[in-house]
């Protein structure tokens, strides 16, 4: 039966690719990739020769209808992102919603997602948490931070290396200097690092040592 598979890919270490992910990517009719160059290397490594098409935030509005028609005509598709699980701060939501609206089966495989190891590794409470992803860059950022200042659950953020210092500074401004945070970067890669401490301590660390790589920030909720 034609369907859409959402297939997680490794966030750094290729050994984290699952047997089932390789099997599905080999068996589907076509693969939708956020960046065909990045994903091309992954597919080549696992000797997957399935046809691949580009599907990213700049073209997904235009391509969704065509993909839906192909699946309705009997083809099976797999969506992958550059790293991790599709639709988690990555393209995929629009296509998944369209499939649901058209009564097309969607099957999401379990697999790598950067925030789970970062959360578990942080040492901060993980019985209740909220995922914020990337904060608004400009418009709405202050409003969001004001709301989150009252949040009592552990908070999860994604951030880029060149914006981490600014974001930690905002956390000090809105959450206070003694709020506990944990910054994990390069998860599952050779230079993986987790820095834990107060907002002030962690900011001081990265002011001395410039951050690199993919970053997940875990912030303690208000007590």
- Return the CATH number at 37: 3.40.1010.10
Residue that has been written with the tokens 């200042």 in this structure: 149
Please tell me whether residues 130 and 94 are part of one structural domain.
Answer: no
Global pTM? 0.92
Q: What is the pLDDT of residue 181?
A: 98
Residue 160: give the domain boundaries: 115-219
Please tell me whether residues 179 and 212 are part of one structural domain.
Answer: yes
Instruction: Write out the DSSP string of 149-190.
Output: TT--SEEEEEE-HHHHHHHHHHHHHHH-TT-EEEEEESTTST
Nearest to 205 by CA among 214, 216, 193, 213: 193
Please tell me whether residues 78 and 128 are part of one structural domain.
Answer: no
> CA 51, CA 31: separation in Å to the nearest integer?
6
Please tell me whether residues 73 and 152 are part of one structural domain.
Answer: no
Q: Which three-class secondary structure string do you get for 1-51? A: CCCEEECCECCCCHHHCCHHHHHHHHHCCEEEECCHHHHHHHHHHCCCCCC
Nearest to 142 by CA among 166, 115, 177: 166
Please tell me whether residues 88 and 128 are part of one structural domain.
Answer: no
- Return the CATH number at 215: 3.30.950.10
Please tell me whether residues 154 and 61 are part of one structural domain.
Answer: no
How many domains does the chain fold into? 2
Residue 182 C-alpha from the chain's centroid: 17
Please tell me whether residues 153 and 104 are part of one structural domain.
Answer: no
Please tell me whether residues 44 and 133 are part of one structural domain.
Answer: no
Q: What is the pLDDT of residue 89?
A: 82
Please tell me whether residues 97 and 119 are part of one structural domain.
Answer: no
Averages of pLDDT over runs of 10 residues in the chain (223 residues) are 93 95 98 93 96 86 92 97 90 93 97 95 97 93 96 97 97 97 95 96 96 95 94
pLDDT tens readout for residues 67-84: 999 999 999 999 999 999
Please tell me whether residues 76 and 119 are part of one structural domain.
Answer: no
Please tell me whether residues 119 and 89 are part of one structural domain.
Answer: no
Percent with pLDDT over 70 in the chain: 100
């Amino acid at each position: 039966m034609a369907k859409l598979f959402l297939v997680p890919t490794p966030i750094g270490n290729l050994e984290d690719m699952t047997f089932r992910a390789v099997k599905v990517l080999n068996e589907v009719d076509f693969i939708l990739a956020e960046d065909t160059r990045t994903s091309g290397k992954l597919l080549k490594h696992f000797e997957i020769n399935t046809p691949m098409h580009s599907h990213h935030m700049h073209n997904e509005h235009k391509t969704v209808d065509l993909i839906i028609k192909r699946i309705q005509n009997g083809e099976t598709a797999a969506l992958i992102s550059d790293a991790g699980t599709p639709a988690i701060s990555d393209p995929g939501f629009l296509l998944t919603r369209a499939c649901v609206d058209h009564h097309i089966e969607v099957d999401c495989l379990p697999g790598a997602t950067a925030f789970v190891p970062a959360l578990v590794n942080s040492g901060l409470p993980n019985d209740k948490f909220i995922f914020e992803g990337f904060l608004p860059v400009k418009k709405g950022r202050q409003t969001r931070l004001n709301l989150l200042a009252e949040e009592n659950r552990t908070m999860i953020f994604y951030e880029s290396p060149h914006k981490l210092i600014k974001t930690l500074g905002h956390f000090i401004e809105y959450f206070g200097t003694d709020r506990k945070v944990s910054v994990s970067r390069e998860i599952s890669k050779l230079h993986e690092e987790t820095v834990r401490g107060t907002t002030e301590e962690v900011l001081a660390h990265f002011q001395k040592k410039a951050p690199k790589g993919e970053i997940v920030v875990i912030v303690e909720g208000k007590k």
